């Protein structure tokens, strides 16, 4: 009998969890499983801000998919899916077509610029490994160039960094960026013969919400705001960005912030991939509980209705894997109900805040807990050890400022 072919599009948190849940029937020879991802690695996004600010090396947060699924019979393909034909049950990518019995769409979200003029052209997002490396390079470049400028105003403009977005990504990045930038300023330039003087660096966080971390409980929000201010981050809250230009950000209250590097963390949107045709889109969009009439499941950040979080994607992945097996047996599917396991936000070295259940916590112990939890999310011991090593070195040595 022909084995049902399941194709997972997207090797992020959701896609990986579905694949893991199907390993046993794969091993037993009951199904054929293919995983397609646009890169050949799984990216651990929650630590991306540390790559952008010299705390972790790029390879620490990327796990090759072939390594994650070594000794399994999964067919792994690196490629960009360009079309899913739900009527013919065919997926197109690169120059090949694959037929499937069940497709799992887990292609993640895209950056939301809210149609802000100039935002797409003049800001950097923080979504991919390339984004993180790019941000780090631009910060280091700004210092190298500023160190040669004799004009104070020009130096200040070059060393003004702006982050747009007061959610978890913006807050975590602002804390790390402030530590990174102020330590570079002090350690390498103030003390040397460069033109740079004290207090020429500014890190500004702009958010439309009147408070940071709108989705977190009040104690976490307050701790985060105080911590960022303590680190020297200027907070411009309750005001929207009207326009972004190459060298600055214009706020809707008429204020302008000069900026040599503007990072856009203001939002992501759950968008169904463009490669799904309109009629399929309409049907998939309404499948909030990942039902399988179309032979296609959609989950993670690509689906709507739930917070765009890794823990949601992983929880959905577990249910979708089980539902695929139930569907193949012709049995009723499980509903997906999301229960938050709590949330943390890192606030620079040695400090984090967050909640588990009704318990609010912050400080060094929370930071340690946050790091320990994340470490266990990695698939391989090799990556865990590499990260522990990076973090340990960070305790004794400054962050890496090599410009690649
Ligand atoms: C900087 C940052 C920090 C974050 N921090 C946290 C955090 O601390 N806690 C938390 O819970 N969540 C966090 N998130 C959110 C979390 O990363 C997402 O919710 C999670 O990644 C969603 O998982 P997913 O599998 O749906 O999508 P993703 O993990 O984005 O995976 C989608 C995959 O699909 C691939 N893909 C896309 N299109 C195609 C295509 N056409 N063909 C083939 N492959 C394709 C992509 O390459 C990617 O590998 C953070 C996100 C970012 C960007």
Whether residue 188 is found in the same domain as residue 147: yes
Is 22 inside any structural domain? yes
Whether residue 160 is found in the same domain as residue 190: yes
Q: Look at residue 94 in the predicted model and tell me its pLDDT.
A: 79
Q: Which of 46, 82, 111, 215 to mutate to test the pocket of ligand 1 (most atoms within 8 A of CB)?
A: 46
Whether residue 206 is found in the same domain as residue 123: yes
Question: By alpha-carbon position, which residue is closest to atom 37 of ligand 1?
Answer: 107
Atom of ligand 1 nearest to the CA of 374: 8
Is 387 inside any structural domain? no
Query: Which residue range is the domain that position 257 belongs to?
Result: 119-266
| pLDDT bracket for residue 333 (50, 70, 90) | confident
Whether residue 128 is found in the same domain as residue 251: yes
Q: What CATH number corresponds to the domain at position 88?
A: 3.50.50.60
Whether residue 259 is found in the same domain as residue 290: no
The answer to whether residue 287 scores a pLDDT higher than 80 is no
| pLDDT bracket for residue 290 (50, 70, 90) | low
Question: By alpha-carbon position, which residue is closest to atom 38 of ligand 1?
Answer: 107
Q: Which of 310, 354, 378 to mutate to test the pocket of ligand 1 (most atoms within 8 A of CB)?
A: 310
The answer to whether residue 16 scores a pLDDT higher than 90 is yes
Distance 13 CA to ligand 1 centre (A): 6
Distance 15 CA to ligand 1 centre (A): 10
Q: Look at residue 282 in the predicted model and tell me its pLDDT.
A: 60
Distance 156 CA to ligand 1 centre (A): 35
Output the average pLDDT for the chain.
90
The answer to whether residue 220 scores a pLDDT higher than 90 is yes
Number of domains making up the chain: 2
Q: Look at residue 271 in the predicted model and tell me its pLDDT.
A: 64
Q: Look at residue 193 in the predicted model and tell me its pLDDT.
A: 63
Which residues form the pocket of ligand 1, taking CB atoms under 6 Å from any ligand atom?
9-15, 36-39, 45-46, 48-49, 80-81, 106-108, 126-127, 168-169, 273, 300-302, 308-311, 313
pTM for this prediction: 0.93
Q: Look at residue 288 in the predicted model and tell me its pLDDT.
A: 46
Is 335 inside any structural domain? no
Whether residue 27 is found in the same domain as residue 153: no
Whether residue 133 is found in the same domain as residue 222: yes
Q: Three-class SS string for the chain?
A: CCCCEEEEECCCHHHHHHHHHCHHHHHCCCCEEEEEECCCEEECHHHHHHHHCCCCCHHHHEEEHHHHCCCCCCEEEECCEEEEECCCCEEEECCEEEECCEEEECCCCEECCCCCCCHHHHEEECCCHHHHHHHHHHHHHHHHHHCCCCCHHHHHHHCEEEEECCCHHHHHHHHHHHHHHHHHHHHHHHCCCCCCCCCCCEEEEEECCCCCCCCCCHHHHHHHHHHHHHCCEEEEECCCEEEEECCEEEECCCCEEECCEEEECCCEECCCCCCECHHHHHHHHCCCCCCCCCCEEECHHHCCCCCCCHHHHHHHHHHHHHHHHHHHCCCCCCCCCCCCCCEEEECCCCCEEEEECCEEEEEHHHHHHHHHHHHCCCCCHHHHHHHHHHHHHHHHCCCCCCCC
Whether residue 92 is found in the same domain as residue 13: yes
Span 180-188, mean pLDDT? 85
The answer to whether residue 241 scores a pLDDT higher than 90 is yes
């Amino acid at each position: 009998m022909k084995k049902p072919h399941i194709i997972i599009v997207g090797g992020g948190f959701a896609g990986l969890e579905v694949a893991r849940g199907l390993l046993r029937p794969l091993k037993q020879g009951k199904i054929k499983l293919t995983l397609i991802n646009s890169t050949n690695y799984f990216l651990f996004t929650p630590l991306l801000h540390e790559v952008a600010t010299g705390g972790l090396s790029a390879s620490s947060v990327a796990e090759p998919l072939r390594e994650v699924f070594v000794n399994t019979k999964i067919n792994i393909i690196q490629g960009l899916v360009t079309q899913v034909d739900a009527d013919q049950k065919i997926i197109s990518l690169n120059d090949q077509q694959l037929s499937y019995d069940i497709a799992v769409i887990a292609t993640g979200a895209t950056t939301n610029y809210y149609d802000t003029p100039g935002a797409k052209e003049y800001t950097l997002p923080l979504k991919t490994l390339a984004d993180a490396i790019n941000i780090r390079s631009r910060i280091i470049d700004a210092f190298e160039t500023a160190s040669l400028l004799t004009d104070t105003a020009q130096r200040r403009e070059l060393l003004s960094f702006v982050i747009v977005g007061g959610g978890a990504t913006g807050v975590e990045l602002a804390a790390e960026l402030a530590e990174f930038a102020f330590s570079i300023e002090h350690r390498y330039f103030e003390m040397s013969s460069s033109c740079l003087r004290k207090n020429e660096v500014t890190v500004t966080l702009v958010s439309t919400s009147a408070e940071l971390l709108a989705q977190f409980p009040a104690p976490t929000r307050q701790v985060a705001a105080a911590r960022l201010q303590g680190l020297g981050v200027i907070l411009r809250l309750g005001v929207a960005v009207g326009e972004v230009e190459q060298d600055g950000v214009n706020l809707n209250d008429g204020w302008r912030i000069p900026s040599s590097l503007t990072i856009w963390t203001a939002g992501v949107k759950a968008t169904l991939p463009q490669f799904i045709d309109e009629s399929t889109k309409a049907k998939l969009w309404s499948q909030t509980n990942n039902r399988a009439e179309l032979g296609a499941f959609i989950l993670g950040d690509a689906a709507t209705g739930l917070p765009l979080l890794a823990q949601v994607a992983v929880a959905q992945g577990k249910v979708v894997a089980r539902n695929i097996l139930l569907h193949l047996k012709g049995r009723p599917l499980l509903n997906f109900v999301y229960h938050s396991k709590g949330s943390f936000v890192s606030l620079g070295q040695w400090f984090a805040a967050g909640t588990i259940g009704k318990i609010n916590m912050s400080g060094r112990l929370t930071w340690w807990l946050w790091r320990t939890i994340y470490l266990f999310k990695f698939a391989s011991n090799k990556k865990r050890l590499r990260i522990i090593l990076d973090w340990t070195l960070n305790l004794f040595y400054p962050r890496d400022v090599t410009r690649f």
